[in-house]
Amino acid sequence: MELSSADREIIDGEHGRAAADAMQLVLKFAEAVGAPRLLPCASAHVDGCLYHGQASLDFVERFVALDGRVRVPTTLNVGSVDLIHPELFIGDAALGAAGKRLMEAHVELGCTPSFTCAPYQTLLRPRFGDQLAWAESNAIVFANSVIGARTNRYGDFIDLACALTGRVPDYGLHRSEYRHARAVVEIHGFDGAEPDQAGGLAVAAGLFIGKHCGDTIAAITGLPASTSEDDLKALGAAAASSGSVAMFHAVGLTPEAPDLAGATGGLDVPVVARLGPSEIAEILATLSTVPDWAALTAVALGTPHFSLTEFDRLMPMLDLAPFAVPIYVNTGRHEWERLTTDGRAARLEAAGVTVVVDTCTYVTSIIRDLSGAVMTNSGKWAYYAPGNLGVDAAFGTLADTLHSARAGRVVRA
């Protein structure tokens, strides 16, 4: 492997024992994936702050004991508890304490306490072409696809090792030749789609490419002009949930796909599916495990974390209050600070909406009553929650979820 002088300085311990030990992990990983060299990374996003057992904590505590410090700007994914609203956690106290310590330990290493799965919409948004060491599946897809930065699917432990060294293996999606689409998915019949409809369409497209394309990069044609950044966020989250997707191209919408030829690198790529309104409806129907009019016990929004733009869409719908069931919205600290400052947090609380930060309701014990179905506008939440929480889920648009919260049962706006 080609090693730079900067690499050798880290290996030789000139930047401390923690960086040297982390470098050994990065080098072994690079060897395993066949990378010929290491690249300097512009930033890291660490998923390992979500507690999965004692090994998670032991790994980080070792680097804390060695006085480790991250060498690049490093944001943190969701943890196991809401540190700002600790009273929301209703799980095992020992589990909550371990999760809290894991989050704090990462901060002691110099990581930014962002605790969000959507760092790209808050702090340290990458630039086009930046080389990253990012974990968290939806963030990886967004960085590659919507921003045009470059990262592979990094997981727990290797994400922090890259952050501690500032180095990342040069392979896969870090290289231009591996970023072209090798499958085409055509969408038709949605030219005049309204924003709510565009959001559902994006989720369906994401679920399809995740299930049927796997880790093959797909170019999606025909998404409507009303498709927003938040819709593309939802598309990537659904794709990464249902498959091993790390990147997609939305032709005419994402930076490396000004046209189909740009997305495919000029190659003749097969069309693997043509999806119209009936096919999209069938895909979205698979996200609901209960029929329409089924009773609800809660509504869950913000997976990935709600952006300020999504809150802008939500606020007028609070006029539907009073709601028959509680509404939970996951978001980041940056958004929470803005909501608190401009008075929207108080209005949300008055309407019966609980804002959750630092974590997410499908990975930790927050929702008080899971005896009935929970409705969501998130393809990711609907995909994972039945298995994670043992709860039935209903999927709908944002408007659907608010009307359903008012009725206490699934309705379609």
pLDDT at 195: 82
pLDDT of residue 215: 92
Q: Per residue in 164-180, pLDDT tens? A: 999 999 999 999 999 99
**The pLDDT value given to residue 157:** 96
Average pLDDT value over all residues in the chain: 97
How many CB atoms sit inside 10 A of residue 242's CB?
Answer: 22
Q: If you average pLDDT over residues 210-221, what whole number do you get?
A: 96
Give per-residue pLDDT as tens, 48-85. Answer: 999 999 999 999 999 999 999 999 999 999 999 999 99
Q: How many CA atoms lie within 13 A of 61 on its CB side?
A: 11
Whether the predicted model's global pTM rises above the 0.85 cut = yes
pLDDT at position 124 is 82
Give Cβ neighbours of residue 152 (< 8 Å, ≥ 6 apart): 140, 169, 171, 172, 173, 174, 246
3-state secondary structure of 133: strand
Is residue 361's pLDDT more than 80?
Answer: yes
Listed residue (254, 204, 205, 210) closest to 229, CA to CA:
254
Report the alpha-carbon distance of residue 100 to residue 83 in Å, rounded: 7
Q: State whether residue 76 is helix, strand or coil.
A: strand
| Rounded average pLDDT over 14-19 | 98
Confidence at 10, pLDDT banded by 50, 70, 90 = very high
Categorize the per-residue pLDDT at 39 as very low, low, confident or very high, splitting at 50, 70 and 90. Answer: very high
Quick check: 366 and 224 in contact, CB under 8 A? no
Sequence-ordered alpha helix ranges (H) in 34-169: 54-65, 93-108, 137-142, 158-165
Confidence band of 256 (pLDDT split at 50, 70, 90): very high
